Amino acid sequence: MKNPIWALMHSVRGRIYAAMAGSATSYLLNLAAMVMFAYNITQPQALTNLTWLLICLLLVAASTVLRLASFTISHLASYKLEVDLRSQIADKLASLPLGYITEHGSGRVAKLMQYNVTNLHAFVADSTPMLAKLYVAPLASLLVCAVFSWQLSLWLITGLTVGFVVLSRAMQGHGDTSALYEEKNAAFNQQAVEYIQAMSVVRAFDSGSQSYDRLHNTTVEFKELLTRWLAASGHSVRFAMWLFTPLPVLLWVGLGGWWLMHLQVLELSALAVVLLLSGGLVEGIMPLMWLNHAIKRSQVAATDIQQMLAQPSLPEPAQPEPVKFSKTPSIAVENLSFRYAGQQAWALQNMSFNIEPGQIVALVGASGSGKSTLARLLPRFWDPEHGRICIDGHDIRHLSSEQLMSQMAFVFQDNYLFDESLLDNLRLGYEHIDQALVEDAAKAAQIHDFIVSLPDGYQTMVGAGGVRLSGGQRQRIAIARALVQDKPILVLDEATAYADPDNEHLLMQAVAQLMQGRTVLIIAHKLNTIKDADQILVIDHGQLIERGTHDELLAKPSRYSQLWQAYENSQTWLLTDDSEEQRYA
């Protein structure tokens, strides 16, 4: 059996083997008790000395305790495994390029750590002891039967073979159909989720029930598939399910036994033993079928986990050299080319520029031009394919994460806040910093007044159980956080994107505070905000096409002047009419 779970289980493999051995042994002890009982009750002299009966009871007691113990062992091992795997995934996540999360979505990563790991439980805790038993049971039972009567065993095996032929006929094409079933079922679930989440849109535009039809069609398709499947396999499955119940087997063995006794080649004791064991033989098959479902699910879960753990980590030097950075470092981007994994087209191509210490450099261009990609290469979300980025002359790939991050703060569009107090959020990673300093940062970021207006002030909890913050407030907290950290390089990507219109100016002031005295790379769609930049870099289709100051770039016909014109127009536009005379001055 090739199951990826076995590979993931290595930290608890010993315990699992112990649980499986315990479960198998427990079955054997029980088997011994049954054989002993069946044999002795057909021996007249056994009824005078009941020692064997006492042994039977002891065997059963031992078997029961051992069986339960093995389940306890496998459950405990499974809990430990869950901790181990979650820690491994967490560590891996911390070492992967940040781009991995951007590409896969943090929700999927979290799901991997929660549900996929939980899904393994069904296999590790419940199935492993059962599996051991299910493998040992038929072998041991048949062996014992053969010892008592090889003729009757042969008869039994013949019957079982017929049963399995019927069963395998029933299961013919089962794999394909069940894959199709899973697919259609998943399609319904996905569309239902889409339907739930987009219901306001569906209602607003659903005059002809078109989107409802999408869901309806899937439902109908699913029904047709089920009907076809059940019509094709229903009869043989029904037959097989009956065949593997104790009654037919008892009858089969009984008839065979009767015949063999008639031929005088079978003892009554042997018949009793075989009858007793054969019932249990078939009853193990049904749980195996139910188990299959759980095993399949855990296999899928395990494969995903394995793939994630096999992702290459962001390469870092094993022994980073100690580096002394200047107070305001310079940044050099040299012949930089980058494309996303699996993409032909370059996202950034042969780009070179310098940012002098303390300079403010703005990246400008249409959406999709590559600005954000460039901004994310600085904190090493990904590494470039060609060229390099240097801080104070040091290639960032030769720095440790700590060294790199000690120089650089970034504020992007969405800034995650943790389910902790505002204070802890503000001094994340800098827990030793004085609250007074944090408050200074919050004041500079224009968020202090808001925080102290809350009943619990800086101790207010953020998140599900705490205060709900608007987009602009979250961004000001992220800016305050960057101020607390006081790093010399600042990367801002649309740091004002989710501003609330009524307090946008507060956010702007916060950003201005943050930029002072730092080396800054900034991206903003609102071009007026960056027109004072020391250098404006215009990016188009991944290439650096123009550079200069605002005035220099406007002085000649340029891509920048087009963008500026578009910006001006968008700012003075009126909903009712775009004719000139209605524009307000």
Partner 1 sequence: MHKQATLWQSFQHMRQLAGKQQKPLDRTLSQSAIAAMLEGAILLALFPVAMLFESDLMAGNVTSWLIFILFGLAVHFALNWHALSFSHGQPYAELVYELHEKLSQQLHRMPLSRLSQYRDGEVANALAASVEHITMPMGTLVQVLVRLAVLPCMVFLGLLWIDWRLAAVMATVILALWPINKLKQKMTEANFAKLSQAMINSNSAILGYSQGMAVLRACNATNGAGNRLRQRIQQLCDIQTRSEKRNIASNISYGLVAELGVWAMLTTAVLLVIYSDLSVLYLPVLAIIMLRLVEPLGTFAFMLPIFSLMRLGAKRYSDLMDINPLPTLGHTRQQQDSSITFKQVHFSYPGTNNPAINDLSLHCQANSITALVGPSGSGKSTLIKLITRYDDVANGSISIGGRDIRSFSQSELMSQIAVVFQDVYLFDDSILNNIAMAKPSASQAEIEAAAKAANCHDFISQLPNGYHTKIGELGGKLSGGQRQRISIARAILKNAPIVLLDEPTAALDSESEIQVQRAMAELAKGRTLIIIAHRLSTIVAADQIVVLDDGAIVEQGQHRSLLEEKGLYHSLWQAQMRTKQWHFNSVE
Q: Does 93 bind partner 1 (CB under 8 A)?
A: yes
Q: By C-alpha distance, which of 129, 14, 13, 117 is closest to 72?
A: 129
Q: How far is the CB of 144 from partner 1 (least distance, A)?
A: 14
Contact 408, 489 (CB under 8 A): yes
Q: Does 109 bind partner 1 (CB under 8 A)?
A: yes
Residue nearer to partner 1 on the CB measure, 219 or 350: 219
Q: Does 466 bind partner 1 (CB under 8 A)?
A: no
Burial (CB count within 10 angstroms: exposed 0-12, middle 13-18, buried 19+), residue 316: middle
Q: Does 17 bind partner 1 (CB under 8 A)?
A: no
Structure tokens at 105: 């979505």
Site residues for partner 1, window 311-350 (CB under 8 A)?
none
Contact 347, 538 (CB under 8 A): no
- How far apart CA 416 and CA 411 sit, in angstroms, is 10
Site residues for partner 1, window 179-238 (CB under 8 A)?
185, 188-190, 192-208, 210-212, 214-216, 219-220, 222-223, 226-227, 230, 233-234, 237-238
Burial (CB count within 10 angstroms: exposed 0-12, middle 13-18, buried 19+), residue 195: middle
- How far apart CA 473 and CA 480 sit, in angstroms, is 10
DSSP for 163-195, written as a single string: HHHHHHHHTTTHHHHHHHHHHHHHHHHHHHHHH
Q: By C-alpha distance, which of 223, 146, 242 is closest to 184?
A: 223
Q: Does 577 bind partner 1 (CB under 8 A)?
A: yes
Q: Does 554 bind partner 1 (CB under 8 A)?
A: no
Site residues for partner 1, window 353-382 (CB under 8 A)?
360, 365-368, 379
How many helical (H) and strand (E) elements, i.e. helices and strands, does the chain have? 23, 10
Torsion sign across C-alpha atoms 36, 41, 43, 46: positive
Site residues for partner 1, window 480-499 (CB under 8 A)?
481, 485, 494, 496-499
Residue nearer to partner 1 on the CB measure, 103 or 334: 103
7, 10, 14, 61: which one binds partner 1 (CB under 8 A): 61
Torsion sign across C-alpha atoms 367, 369, 373, 374: negative
Site string for partner 1, 428-457 (x = CB under 8 A): xxxx--------------------------
14, 173, 246, 517: which one binds partner 1 (CB under 8 A): 246
Q: How far is the CB of 384 from partner 1 (least distance, A)?
A: 18
146, 180, 250, 554: which one binds partner 1 (CB under 8 A): 250
Query: What's phi and psi for 495, nearest 5 deg?
Result: -65, -15
Q: Does 169 bind partner 1 (CB under 8 A)?
A: no
Residue nearer to partner 1 on the CB measure, 150 or 205: 205
Site residues for partner 1, window 263-322 (CB under 8 A)?
268, 272, 275-276, 279-280, 283, 286-287, 290-291
Q: Does 101 bind partner 1 (CB under 8 A)?
A: yes
Q: Does 175 bind partner 1 (CB under 8 A)?
A: no
Q: Does 413 bind partner 1 (CB under 8 A)?
A: yes
Q: By C-alpha distance, which of 410, 377, 394 is closest to 542?
A: 377
Structure tokens at 298: 């855990």
- What interhelical angle do 285-309 and 51-95 show, nearest 10? 20
Residue nearer to partner 1 on the CB measure, 2 or 32: 32
Q: How far is the CB of 381 from partner 1 (least distance, A)?
A: 8
Residue nearer to partner 1 on the CB measure, 330 or 496: 496
Residue nearer to partner 1 on the CB measure, 352 or 463: 463
- How far apart CA 327 and CA 337 sit, in angstroms, is 29
2, 45, 51, 262: which one binds partner 1 (CB under 8 A): 262
Structure tokens at 446: 């224009």
Q: DSSP state, 336? A: E
Size of the site for partner 1 (CB under 8 A): 173
Q: How far is the CB of 516 from partner 1 (least distance, A)?
A: 8
Q: Does 57 bind partner 1 (CB under 8 A)?
A: yes
Q: How far is the CB of 335 from partner 1 (least distance, A)?
A: 26
Residues with Cβ within 8 Å of residue 158, at least 6 apart in sequence? none
Q: Does 556 bind partner 1 (CB under 8 A)?
A: no
- How far apart CA 296 and CA 66 sit, in angstroms, is 28
Contact 33, 56 (CB under 8 A): yes
Q: How far is the CB of 115 from partner 1 (least distance, A)?
A: 9
Q: Does 37 bind partner 1 (CB under 8 A)?
A: yes
